[in-house]
């Protein structure tokens, strides 16, 4: 009987020890779990902060890109781009410009112009002509008076259409091309004259001056 009691007492002590060990182990697991949960909360907090910072930086970057685009286009606010005038070996660009002015009904004299030149273009029959006027007001009057004219109108042996438009920076030209494609379903098979015709139509809808009409095109950035 005493032997049985001793045996039971020993077994009870073993159970008690095991329960104590299990309890300590469970406490340790709970501590580790609490630490992991707190660490996870901290990581999530830092992650959320990084997301907000990233959003802020994206907005700052978009603002910087927009301001750069504004500045680049503003630097051209006295410029005009003339497309479609056939090139001759002995041509006088200044005289061609005077003839264009006469054709559209806006007199252009040498004192109105800072610089005028062809844009270097390899193998192109009708390289664009860039004109920088002395004053933006004169540029605006030329654009306001523009109408459909041809090379024959200014005394050249060709019926090709001449287009007078604002001088857009490369990014603005890209945006305009996207707007043309979106608005008029333009295709890659269109020739240069067809694209320039669409360019004219879109240019009448938007003023591509220093404000850039960003409300209309910013979603392309």
Q: pLDDT digits over 68-105, tens only?
A: 888 888 899 999 999 889 998 889 999 999 999 999 99
Q: Does residue 161 sit in the same domain as residue 180?
A: no
Residues 32 and 111 in one domain: no
Same domain? 86 vs 157: yes
Per the document, the length of the chain is 221
Q: Are residues 106 and 130 in the same domain?
A: yes
Number of domains in the chain: 3
The domain boundary residue, chosen from 25, 57, 74: 74
pLDDT at 217 over 50: no
- The region of weakest confidence among 10-14, 56-60, 97-101, 207-211 is 207-211
**Are 125 and 196 found together in one domain?**
no
Instruction: Kindly report the CATH number assigned to the domain that includes residue 102.
Output: 3.30.70.1820
Mean pLDDT of 176-198: 59
Distance CA 167, CA 95 (A): 20
33-42, 47-56, 111-120: segment of lowest average pLDDT: 33-42
Together in a domain, 151 and 114:
yes
Based on the domain organization, do 67 and 2 belong to the same domain? yes
In whole angstroms, give the CA distance from residue 213 to residue 105: 28
Which residues on adjacent β-strands are paired with residue 149? 162
C-beta separation of 150 from 159 below 8 A: yes
- Answer whether residue 196 shows pLDDT above 80: no
Do 172 and 162 belong together in one domain?
no
Q: Where are the alpha helices (DSSP H) in the chain?
A: 2-74, 93-104, 136-145, 170-184, 192-205, 214-217
Q: Which residue, of 15, 49, 74, is where some domain finishes?
A: 74
Domain closes at, from 146, 167, 188: 167
Indicate if 98 and 109 belong to the same structural domain: yes
- Name the β-bridge partners of 132: 79, 115
Domain assignment of residue 147, given as a range: 78-167
Question: In this structure, are 155 and 114 located in the same domain?
Answer: yes
């Amino acid at each position: 009987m005493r032997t049985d009691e001793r045996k039971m007492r020993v077994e009870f002590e073993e159970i008690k020890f095991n329960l104590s060990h299990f309890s300590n182990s469970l406490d340790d697991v709970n501590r580790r779990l609490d630490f992991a949960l707190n660490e996870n909360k901290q990581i999530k907090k830092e992650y959320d902060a990084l997301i907000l910072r990233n959003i802020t930086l994206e907005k700052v970057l978009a603002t910087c890109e927009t301001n750069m685009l504004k500045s680049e286009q503003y630097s051209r606010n006295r410029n005009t781009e003339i497309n479609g005038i056939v090139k001759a070996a002995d041509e006088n660009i200044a005289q061609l410009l005077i003839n264009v002015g006469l054709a559209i009904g806006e007199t252009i004299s040498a004192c109105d112009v800072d610089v005028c030149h062809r844009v270097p273009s390899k193998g192109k029959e009708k390289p664009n002509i860039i004109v920088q006027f002395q004053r933006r007001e004169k540029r605006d009057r030329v654009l306001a008076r523009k109408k459909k004219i041809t090379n024959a109108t200014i005394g050249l042996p060709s019926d090709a259409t001449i287009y007078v438009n604002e001088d857009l920076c490369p990014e603005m030209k890209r945006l305009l091309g996207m707007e043309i494609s979106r608005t008029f379903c333009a295709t890659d098979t269109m020739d240069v004259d067809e694209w320039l015709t669409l360019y004219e139509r879109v240019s009448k809808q938007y003023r591509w001056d220093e404000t850039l009409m960003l409300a209309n095109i910013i979603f392309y950035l």
